[in-house]
Structure 1
Amino acid sequence: MNKDEKLALEYLKTLGNGIPKFEPEGNCPPDFAFENKLAIEVRRLNQNYFKGLEVEGIERATIKIHQLLKNCFNSYSSNDKSYFVAIDYRRPITQKTKVLKKEIKDTLERFLSNPKFFPAKHIVNQNISLRFIEATKKHENLFRLGINHDFDSGGWLVGLLVENTSFCIAEKSEKIKKYKSKYHYWWLLLIDHIGLDIDQEDFAELKNYSLNRGSLIKL
């Protein structure tokens, strides 16, 4: 049981239906079920990048880039100075890991050949650039990751929730198709990973949207 499923279980226990069974059918839907034939699927509600038929979790590229940056940073020992590195990027990021790592390393070397005129901006490729700012004190490493600017992340909160919730519903509706008849009711429990606070006004606006719930009775 992963963290999202554990969180879902604690919530489901509060509904007064007893304790649901985890993966009653084994490694296939649903994630949980109550004895009254109520099935529950659990999914993380994350922001996705949509391009045509391609869908990618927004965090996938971020994790990849951050790991490569830290890997490259660790290959440098600090001298008498240290620099904060801000990264600006937008998708699609199609380069293979080996190619992207070389592009980042080449950019760091290019900066070090003439480290001045701060903040110094250097292009990694058409979708990624690095900005260097001299630190006011020496740190353990020559480079430290500073500001992360993802041009595809964030936006109008209600719009993000509607778009990504609709995707989750469609995805789960397709997944449960061949199992749907085994249970009387199906719920989808979404665990928020978008991480933006929704206030009462946003919530009221969200309720105005009529989401197609597909094969799911309750969201």
Structure 2
Amino acid sequence: MTDGYLVRHPHRGGKGGRPFLPAFDDPALVEGRTIYTSTVREVDEAGDILKSGHHNPKIGRVVTKGRWKGFPIFMLTLEERKTCPRSCREWRACFGNNMHLADRWRHGPELEKYLVHEVVRLQSEHPDGFAIRLHVLGDFYSVDYVLTWHALMATCAALHVFGFTAHIDPDQRITQKIAEIRRAFPTRWWVRFSGAVMETMASEVVEMPEQASPGFIVCPQQTGKVLACASCALCWHSNKSIAFLRH
């Protein structure tokens, strides 16, 4: 029943569509995990861990413009905070606080094994190209995980990736490895550094469009200029930094 489902997945979103901010001593913040622990799933429960963008109207199913036109879009969702650096500027305000129904895949070696299998299959099914959004929730949780993506980029020529990471410390190995993939595959790897003070390949979160940093482009989807990522292409077309409205 719907009521029973909501009991198991309590929605603690803010009033009037505003983002929900947990208390500073909320266990989710202190322990570094999602609020909605019952939504964390083991990968062996899944048919696929890479879900079609069709399930997320803000992302979309197939790219309709730009150099990736015709590519189907897939998404990977991990557990917010559990896989993220505590230095993330959105640690408390993560939009995952409002996503009480999202399935989050448990991270680790099993996830990486399934991931390799699925990307190789997608390479076979879509040899002309496909795109993966990393990560709807969560982040790169280890160097080994980043190296898995580097290996997939090197072996699967149809694989294209866009997304964001809160790993912005240039002295950290995980940040360095993410940047290495960008240098090796500049037309296929579009992972921006969230919160970094850079005019290119960065992103930030603002309350209102006029608060965007100089030179940053405000996300066209959030301002109603396009329907979805699939019909925008900004994230993988321009290296200019992007501002997103808090949601």
Q: How would you bin the TM-score normalised by the shorter chain?
A: under 0.3
Tell which has more relative contact order, 1 or 2 (C-alpha 8 A, sep 6+). Answer: 1
**Normalized against structure 1, the TM-score is what?**
0.21
Q: Computing the radius of gyration over CA atoms, which structure comes out larger, 1 or 2?
A: 1
User: Higher strand share goes to which structure?
Assistant: 1
**Normalized against structure 2, the TM-score is what?**
0.19
